[in-house]
């Protein structure tokens, strides 16, 4: 019994012919050129003659007259309060830590061993550093807040504002210790504030 040859090509004719790809994508430049933008929807001021560049005056970072230029440009009383309080606190913390270190070295000279000497120095540093840092930080916060209030109501910022703010801050800081302590602290703070204000005007003028 003879069987006909099984030819797969004959039984299953080709159904997929090799056709060339007729899809030709556009170029990126053509796609971008076809896009249209409505400038009025992008920015409301675009329909009013265009947008001008902002001119920033570096010479007067604050609107109050008499501020001049400072080491850090200020955007208002909040910047002065944050920067002034933070930098003063860090400076007081550093000076207080140095004071505590010197005190610990002096008192630890009579310690029987090195471990007790180091422990005494660390105790002095952690006692003096935060005490000085917190104290001057509170005074700086009172000073910057009072100075901003005085400048707001006077309409200008000058050395008189700083001296008055320093006196009020010192008196308020020591108000619970009696009139004599409050007066002496007010005089010291007013002197330091005056020296600081005049020094800034001399350096940055």
Q: What is the pLDDT of residues 164-191, one digit of tens each?
A: 999 999 999 999 999 999 999 999 999 9
* Distance from C-alpha of 165 to C-alpha of 100, rounded to nearest angstrom: 30
* Distance from C-alpha of 112 to C-alpha of 101, rounded to nearest angstrom: 18
Radius of gyration of the chain (CA): 38
Residue 59 has what pLDDT?
A: 46
Overall pTM > 0.85: no
C-beta atoms surrounding 47 within 10 Å: 11
- pLDDT tens across 40-90, in order? 566 555 555 555 555 545 444 454 444 544 555 555 677 777 888 889 999
* Distance from C-alpha of 149 to C-alpha of 13, rounded to nearest angstrom: 95
CA distances, 95 to each of 81, 84, 131, 133, 136 (Å): 21, 16, 10, 8, 11
């Amino acid at each position: 019994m003879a069987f006909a040859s099984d030819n797969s090509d004959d039984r299953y004719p080709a159904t997929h012919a090799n056709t060339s790809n007729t899809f030709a994508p556009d170029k990126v430049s053509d796609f971008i050129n076809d896009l249209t933008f409505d400038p009025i929807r992008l920015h409301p001021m675009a329909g009013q003659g265009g947008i001008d560049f902002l001119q920033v005056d570096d010479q007067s970072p604050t609107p109050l007259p008499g501020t001049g230029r400072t080491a850090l440009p200020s955007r208002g009383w909040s910047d002065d309060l944050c920067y002034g309080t933070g930098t003063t606190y860090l400076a007081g913390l550093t000076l207080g830590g140095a004071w505590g270190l010197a005190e610990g070295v002096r008192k630890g000279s009579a310690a029987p061993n090195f471990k007790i000497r180091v422990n005494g120095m660390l105790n002095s540093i952690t006692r003096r550093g935060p005490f000085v840092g917190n104290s001057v930080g509170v005074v700086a916060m009172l000073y910057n807040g009072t100075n901003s209030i005085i400048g707001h109501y006077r309409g200008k910022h000058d050395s008189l504002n700083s001296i008055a703010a320093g006196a009020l801050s010192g008196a308020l800081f020591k108000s619970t210790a009696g009139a004599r302590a409050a007066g002496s602290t007010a005089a010291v703070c007013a002197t330091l504030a005056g020296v600081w204000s005049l020094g800034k005007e001399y350096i940055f003028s």
